[in-house]
Amino acid sequence: MIEAVWALIGDDLPALQIAVPLLAATVCVLVRRPRAAWAVAMLVAWSAFANAAVILHRVLTTGTISYFEGGWPVPWGIELRIDLLNALVLLVVTGICAIVLLAAPRSLAAEVPEEKHYLFYAVYLLCMTGLAGMTVTGDAFNVFVFLEISSLSSYALISQGRTPRALTSAIQYLVMGTLGGTFILLGIGMLYMTTGTLNIVDLASRLAMVGPNRTVLVALACITVGTGIKLALFPLHIWLPNAYTYAPAVVTAFIAATATKVAYYVLVRFVYSIFQVSLAFEVNRLDAVLLPVSIAAMFAGSLVAIYQDDLKRMLAYSSLAQIGYMVLGLALANVNGLTGGLVHIFNHAIMKCGLFLVLAAVLLRTGSTRLSAFAGLGRRMPLTFAAFVVGGLSLIGVPLTVGFVSKWYLVLGALDAGLWPVAVLILASSLLAVVYVWRVVEVGWFAEPPADAPEVAEAPLGLLVPIWILIGATLFFGVFTSLSAGVASAAARMLIGGAA
């Protein structure tokens, strides 16, 4: 039986990553009952996660997977192409989708009216479709299409927040996001203009033949700006703090851990697979733009985070800083640096998602995510608070957490590139993380809750389980790094070696 099924779908796994959530989204709308819709979403998300794991395993054992949609061979058809890089990203995206769904029912109940839940799950699956599609596709225009699918659904998800400010945040994101998407489209158009192809592998080989010219430079600029907006690279980040702050808590956890990561993946894919090191860095000096910008992001994000009263906003600004680390890794253009950037996709996703879920739990129990809500949390919600402390330590980059692994590679990359002041700056900015994390820890540890505060119980299991899966993962992958850092460094070597 299983073998029969396997024979049927075994070769179509990459396509299933897109098709199944897309169809399931409509199923969610049809079933209408919140519980049933949730069950459908869970089934789809967890099987997508398992699927991603199988795909990663296959890529590791047999090499890059290439799949022709509808059986049309390239360059006519659309290719799905999965190598080490996007296999890892796919695993992160589907994994986060699945784990956040565990927390969704309890957390949503407090924020979104129940009659809208089935729609929420439908849109959630659409967003997942878009993100997975962007990740697996081997076609540049397809990237744009899936980007818009994920963006449109994330606007809808964000607008579900409790306050009207969710609406204004969503429209702000919509305007910025559409500009970003259109810039990407423009850049892809210019690439098509110069090469006459949209397939990423073809693009790479033909661009290398065409060599440097003005159109290629403008295409690179457009794509960098476009993805820069989508991944909220300072100073194109205006949409992010509001969107993260006012979206429902689970949505924040989901988007923070996936949307920006996939946008970063797109940038890496374009820069390293299509333009490749010679065009992007040696001819066009992309690093001269991205290095200062990413360092500015590291400091601006962390500095602003220190002064935030709303912890969702604080973590949002911390995300800006972390995005700075990732882009810095890209801009260093050596194996260690890029490994740091890529492994941070994985690492930052699990720790930030865990931290945002902690806030979801605090919001559920105390009704607020302000700093004052943390008063006495160490005694009132010890397990939740402990999760925050561990996640925070990981943000700082303390050894045996995942944050350390990323930072280690980034520092090595900076030293490799001969940029030791950059290495110092990376470490100095982690000190800012100490400040904004410890501010919260101090309140949770010492401050007494106000006398009239209602009794607060520990978070429900529905939230504690996903929180501790993620926080446990930050510890586990901080020690056993072969999955995260091993794959990331192999991917980095592949990308820098030039073989797409």
Partner 1 sequence: MSAVAAVGLAVVWPLAAVVLIALTHRRPNLRETGTLLTAGSLFAVVAGVILPAVQAGGRPRLEVLELLPGLELAFEVEPLGMLFGLVASGLWLVTTFYSIGYMRGHHEANQTRFYICFAIAICGALGVAFAANVLTLFIFYELITISTYPLVTHSGTEAAKRAGRLYLGILMGTSIAFLLLAVAWTWLAAGTTDFRPGGILAGAVGGTQLVALLALYAFGTGKAALMPFHRWLPAAMVAPTPVSALLHAVAVVKAGVFTVLKVAVYIFGIDLLATTGASRWLTWVAAFTIIAASCVAISKDNLKARLAYSTISQLSYIVLGAALATTAGALGGGMHILMHAFGKITLFFCAGAIMVGAHKTEVSELDGLGRRMPFTFGAFLLGSLSVIGLPPAGGSWSKWFLLLGAAEADAWPMMVVLMASSLLSIAYLMPIVVRGFFRPAPADDGHGAGIHEAPLLCVLPPVVTALGGIVLFFVADDVWRLLTGMVP
Partner 2 sequence: MLDLGLYNYWVVIFLMMTGLYVVISRGNLIKKVIGLNIFQVSVIMFYVSMGKVRGGTAPILAEGIEVYSNPLPHVLMLTAIVVGVATSAVALALIVRIKEAYGTIEEDEIRVVEGEEEAR
Binding site for partner 2 (CB under 8 A): 141, 144-145, 148, 152, 155-156, 159, 164-165, 167-168, 170-171, 174-175, 178-179, 181-182, 185-186, 189, 192-193, 198
Query: For residues 103-116, b (16+ Cβ closer than 10 Å) or e, as one string?
Result: bbbbbbeebbeeee
d(CA 486, CA 134) in angstroms, rounded, equals 23
**CB nearer partner 1, residue 129 or residue 339:** 339
Q: Check residue 221 for interaction with partner 1 (CB under 8 A).
A: no
Establish if 481 lies at the interface with partner 1 (CB under 8 A): yes
> At 83, phi and psi to the nearest 5?
-115, -170
**Site map for partner 1, 17-56, x if CB under 8 A?**
----------------------------------------
What is the CB-side half-sphere exposure of residue 369 using CA atoms within 13 A?
A: 26
Among partner 1, partner 2, none, what does residue 175 contact (CB within 5–8 Å per kind)? partner 2
- Minimum CB separation from partner 1 for residue 118, in Å? 44
Write down the least CB distance from residue 103 to partner 2, Å: 26
When CB distances are held under 5 to 8 angstroms depending on the partner's kind, the choice from partner 1, partner 2, none that residue 438 binds is partner 1
Q: How many CA atoms lie within 13 A of 329 on its CB side?
A: 31
- By a kind-dependent CB cut-off of 5 to 8 A, residue 56 interacts, out of partner 1, partner 2, none, with none
- What's the angle, vertex CA 249, arms to CA 177 and CA 452, rounded to 5? 140
Residues 442 to 461 in contact with partner 1, rule: CB under 8 A = 442, 445-446
Q: Which does 29 bind (CB under 5 to 8 A by kind): partner 1, partner 2, none?
A: none
* CA neighbor of 357 nearest in space, from 239, 266, 475, 252: 252
Of the pair 161, 392, the CB lying nearest partner 1 is at 392
From candidates 296, 400, 453, 496, binder to partner 1 by CB under 8 A:
400
Which segment (52-60, 141-149, 327-335, 407-415) binds partner 1 by CB under 8 A?
407-415
CA distance 125 to 466: 18
Rounded distance between C-alpha atoms, residue 345 and residue 434, angstroms: 21
Rounded Cα–Cα distance for residues 187 and 483 (Å): 34
The 3-class SS string of 127-195 reads HHHHHHHHHHECEHHHHHHHHHHHHHHHHHHHCCCCCCHHHHHHHHHHHHHHHHHHHHHHHHHHHHHHH
| DSSP output for 83-124 | -HHHHHHHHHHHHHHHHHHHHHHHHHHHHS-GGGHHHHHHHH
Least gap, CB of 152 to partner 2 (angstroms):
6
Sole window of 15-23, 96-104, 360-368, 412-420 interacting with partner 1 (rule: CB under 8 A): 412-420
Neighbours of 389 (CB within 10 A): 18
Phi-psi region of 71 (alpha: psi -120 to 50; beta: other; left: phi over 0): left
332 scored as a contact of partner 1 (CB under 8 A): no
Q: Which one, 196 or 421, has the nearer CB to partner 1?
A: 421
Partner from partner 1, partner 2, none binding residue 167, C-beta < 5-8 Å depending on class: partner 2
Answer yes or no whether residue 408 interacts with partner 1 by CB under 8 A.
yes
Tally of residues, the chain: 500
- CB burial of 308-319 (b: ≥16 within 10 Å; e: otherwise) equals bebbbbbbbbbb
Rule CB under 8 A: say whether 430 interacts with partner 1.
Answer: yes
Q: Does 347 interact with partner 1 (rule: CB under 8 A)?
A: no
What is the C-alpha separation between 213 and 195, in angstroms, rounded? 12
Distance, C-alpha 206 to centroid of its chain: 30
- Residue 341 touching partner 1 (CB under 8 A): no
The item of partner 2, partner 1, none sharing an interface with residue 412, based on CB under 5 to 8 Å by kind, is partner 1
Nearer to partner 1, 249 or 412 (CB): 412
Tokens, residue 29: 């709308």
Is residue 47 within 8 Å of 20, Cβ to Cβ? yes
Secondary structure (3-state) at 397: coil
CB of 284 to partner 1, least distance (A): 28
Q: Examine residue 175 and tell whether it contacts partner 1 (CB under 8 A).
A: no
393 binds partner 1 (CB under 8 A): yes
**Cβ closer to partner 1: 145 or 415?**
415
The region of 62-70, 158-166, 193-201, 437-445 touching partner 1 under the rule CB under 8 A is 437-445
Q: CA-to-CA distance for 40 and 30, rounded, in angstroms?
A: 11
Which residues contact partner 1 by CB under 8 A? 393, 396-400, 405, 407-408, 411-412, 415-416, 423-424, 427-428, 430-431, 434, 438, 442, 445-446, 479-481, 485-486, 489
